[in-house]
Amino acid sequence: MQLTKNFVKAKQPCAAGYRWFVRSRNGEGEYQQLLDDLVAEDRIEDAIWLLDQFGPTDQVRVLDFLDAKAMIFAGDLVVKHGIDVETIVRAGRSIKTEGGIRATGNIVAGQDVKAAGGMRCDGDLLAGGDVHAGWGIEVGKTLSCRGNVSASWSIDVGLELTVDGDLHAHRDIFAGTSLVCRQGIKAGGAIQSDGCIHAERGIIAGDAIQCADYLDARWGVKAGGDITAGSAIRVGEGIETPGSISCGPGHGVYAGLAVRVDAWDVSARVHADRRPDRLLSGFWGGRP
C-alpha cells in the first residue's frame, strides 16, 4: 500500500508526525516501510497511530529471532526462536513463535498470539483472536482476548483479565482486579482474584477458588479446595468442593439460579464438608 500526503492528511495526524512524513519521506511511502522507518527513528507512538488508521495487511514477515527495541508489523509476524523487545511488539494480524515472547511494554495482535514457550509483558496483552502459551503467561497490567486463552503453566495478570472465549491453565489462574470470562474457566490449580470472578458458563479448579468480591457462574462450580468470596456466591446450577464454601458478611450463597426449584435436588446440588452458613438457594447434598 502506497501512502500519499493527501491520504495521510485525511486521517488528521498530529502536526509533528505529519511534518516528519512530508520532510523526511517527501510526503509518500510504502505503508510497511513507513512503519519500519518510524520504529527505527524511535517514533513508536506515530507508528502505532499509523497502524490504527490503515489497519492490517496480508504480508508475512518471517524471522529467526527478534531482539529489538520495538516491532510494529501490519501483517503476520512469525519468529522461529523467540521474541524479546524493550517496548512493544504489535502485529496487524497474528504473532507466532516457536520460542517465548518477552516485552517490557505491550504485546498486541489483531488476531492470535501463540508461543511454544512462555509469554511475559509488563504492560498489556491484547489479542483479537486466541492466546496460547506452551509455558506460562505473565501480564503486568491487562489481558484482553477476543478468543480463547490457554497456558500449559500458570496465568498471572496484574489487573483485569477479560476473555471472550474459554480460559484454561494447567496450573493456577490469578487476576489482580477482576476475572471475567464469557465462556468457561478451567484450572488445574487454584483460581484467584483480588476482585470478582465471573463466568458465563462453568468454573472448574483443581484447588481453591478465592475472590475478594463476588463469585458468579451461569453454570456450575467445582473446586478441589475451599470456595471463598468476599461478597455473594451466585451459581446457575450446583456447587461442589471437598472443602468449605463461604461468602462475605451480609451476603449469601445462591445455587440453582438457572434451574427450576423442583429440579434443585438433581441439577442444583451443593456439596461441601459442611453446609454453608448462608445457603439461600439450591439443594444441600452433604459431603461430596
Whether 70 is in a domain gets the answer no
Residues 161 and 272 in one domain: yes
User: Which among 221, 282, 275, 203 is positioned nearest to 246, based on CA atoms?
Assistant: 275
Q: What is the largest CA-CA distance in the chain?
A: 77
Residues 160 and 288 in one domain: yes
Whether 148 is in a domain gets the answer no
- Grouping H, G, I as helix, E, B as strand and the rest as coil, residue 252 is coil
Report the pLDDT value the prediction gives residue 11, as an integer from 0 to 100: 58
Whether 181 is in a domain gets the answer yes
Per-residue pLDDT of the chain (288 residues; tens, 9 = 90+): 665 555 555 556 666 655 555 556 555 668 788 899 889 988 899 899 889 988 899 999 999 999 999 999 999 999 999 999 999 999 999 999 999 999 999 999 999 999 999 999 999 999 999 999 999 999 999 999 999 999 999 999 999 999 999 999 999 999 999 999 999 999 999 999 999 999 999 999 999 999 999 999 999 999 999 999 999 999 999 999 999 999 999 999 999 999 999 999 999 999 999 999 999 999 999 998
State the helix-helix crossing angle for 15-25 and 31-40, rounded to 10 degrees: 110
Whether 190 is in a domain gets the answer yes
Number of domains in the chain: 2
Please state, in angstroms and rounded to a whole number, the distance separating the CA atoms of residues 232 and 206.
22
Place of cell 497502524: 51
Report the pLDDT value the prediction gives residue 33, as an integer from 0 to 100: 87
Residue 224, C-alpha cell as written in the block: 478441589
User: Which among 269, 266, 263, 273 is positioned nearest to 282, based on CA atoms?
Assistant: 269
**Integer Rg of the chain from CA:** 23
Report the pLDDT value the prediction gives residue 9, as an integer from 0 to 100: 52
Report the pLDDT value the prediction gives residue 43, as an integer from 0 to 100: 87
Residues 49 and 163 in one domain: no
Report the pLDDT value the prediction gives residue 31, as an integer from 0 to 100: 79
What is the extent of the structural domain holding 16?
1-53
pTM of the predicted model as reported, rounded to 2 decimal places: 0.92
**109, β-bridge pairs:** 91, 127
Whether 173 is in a domain gets the answer yes
Report the pLDDT value the prediction gives residue 81, as an integer from 0 to 100: 92
Whether 72 is in a domain gets the answer no
Report the pLDDT value the prediction gives residue 138, as an integer from 0 to 100: 98
Find the distance separating the first CA and the last CA of the chain, reported in whole Å: 63
Report the pLDDT value the prediction gives residue 13, as an integer from 0 to 100: 61
Q: Which of 12, 31, 53 is the last residue of a domain?
A: 53
Residue 17, C-alpha cell as written in the block: 508526525
Residue 1, C-alpha cell as written in the block: 500500500
Report the pLDDT value the prediction gives residue 25, as an integer from 0 to 100: 58
CB neighbourhood size of 199 (10 A): 27
Whether 83 is in a domain gets the answer no
Q: Which of 35, 53, 71 is the last residue of a domain?
A: 53
Whether 124 is in a domain gets the answer no
Residues 48 and 158 in one domain: no
